[in-house]
Amino acid sequence: MLSVFSSPGHYVQGRDATAALGAEMTRLGIGGPVLIVAGSSAFRLLADTWERSLTDAKIAYSIHLSGGECSRAEIARIAHAVEQSGSTVVLGAGGGKVLDAARAVADDLDLPMISCPSTASSDAPCSALSVIYTDAGEFEAYQLVRRNPALVLVDTSVVAQAPARLLAAGMGDALATWFEARTCSAAQVRNMRGGASTRSATALAELCYRTLLADGAQALTAIRARSVTPALERVVEANTLLSGLGFESSGLAAAHAVHNGLTAAARTRPFLHGEKVAFGTVTQLVLEGAPASEIGTVLDFCAEVGLPTTLAALGLPDADDETLWAIAKRATAAGETIHNEPFTVDAVMVVDALRTADALGR
């Protein structure tokens, strides 16, 4: 098995970075016209800056307002908008689901994709992977695309305007990166790009975890004050770049499979991806028999930044056997990443791990 490391073509991050969008596209030889697939908040905050930056660079563009879900129906709507506008570049601007839908369309139409996250709420921006949901919000499938984004541009001035909960959710998603990476490396399984993990990917995953522990709480304080600080910049980088490279080039394991399982319980759907992944991380550590000290560090971090550590905190205060079995069966479905664990995992083990993780969280 060959080792494979996957990354975007170019990564730009910093205060007021959107103003450089046109110049960065020109420098990379990416012309237009471009279709901007925008979430509502991204459109509200950035429409004027897109106008100035792209007009100055003489790049034509049009805007498609996203429906908010990365579903087959939304992907079809965006593809129609691309074809109607004659666009040759697809730019996603918004949260993870907006970026995932734009990425899927760009791959389907064999066009370059630009990723402009308006939050640091997940590690979606850098990857060549779209998570497809049903219109009702239940996990459906991972869609691997052929290429990573040509450009990822992260405007931390915009990220700082987002609710603090979104940054915390991004930390929940990033929290899993190191634990899933080391599991996949130990099990010698294929990463998300079909190859073995590199030492570089594992090192980035570990740096991601260390950054969260060191800077997570301070970054939350900054975003509550709508301020861009060095701690916020470091956590945005961890949530976006380090976690994105770490998960894609190392692999996923039980934490994300538990997230997928939780989507089978309708009452968890109002909760964010990273919030469910955080609980999935605790569940993975229980499943693997991790030391109590390590689980304690993760639980303390989650408490410090406001991530859920109990089923009640995810809308399941009275989860019965039927609900837990539904979650566990979905988490252990054929092809799920929980089967990257270096031992056989079945639904019985997951139910026990869910109950124990919940008890430890309480």
* CATH, range 164-361: 1.20.1090.10
pLDDT score for 67: 82
- Known binding site for glycerol: residues? 123, 173, 256, 273
- Using CA atoms, how far apart are residues 277 and 346, in angstroms rounded to an integer? 19
- Using CA atoms, how far apart are residues 79 and 93, in angstroms rounded to an integer? 16
Show the tokens assigned to 162: 């987002």
Model confidence at 204, pLDDT cuts 50, 70, 90, reads very high
Q: What are φ and ψ of residue 67, in 5° steps?
A: -80, -10
- Using CA atoms, how far apart are residues 278 and 110, in angstroms rounded to an integer? 34
10-161 and 164-361 in the same fold: no
314-336: per-residue pLDDT in tens? 999 999 999 999 999 999 999 99
CATH assignment of 10-161, given 3.40.30.10, 3.30.470.10, 3.40.50.1970, 3.10.20.30?
3.40.50.1970
256-286: per-residue pLDDT in tens? 999 999 999 999 989 999 999 999 999 999 9
- Using CA atoms, how far apart are residues 251 and 70, in angstroms rounded to an integer? 22
User: Average pLDDT of 112-129?
Assistant: 93
Least confident of 6-10, 190-194, 213-217, 338-342: 190-194
- Known binding site: residues? 96-100, 123, 127, 129, 133, 173, 256, 273
Stated pTM of the model:
0.92
Residue 10 pLDDT exceeds 90: yes
The catalytic residue among 64, 155, 259, 358 is 259
Q: What is the domain partition of the chain in residue ranges?
A: 10-161, 164-361
Q: What are φ and ψ of residue 63, in 5° steps?
A: -125, 135
Residue 56 annotated in active site: no
pLDDT score for 131: 86
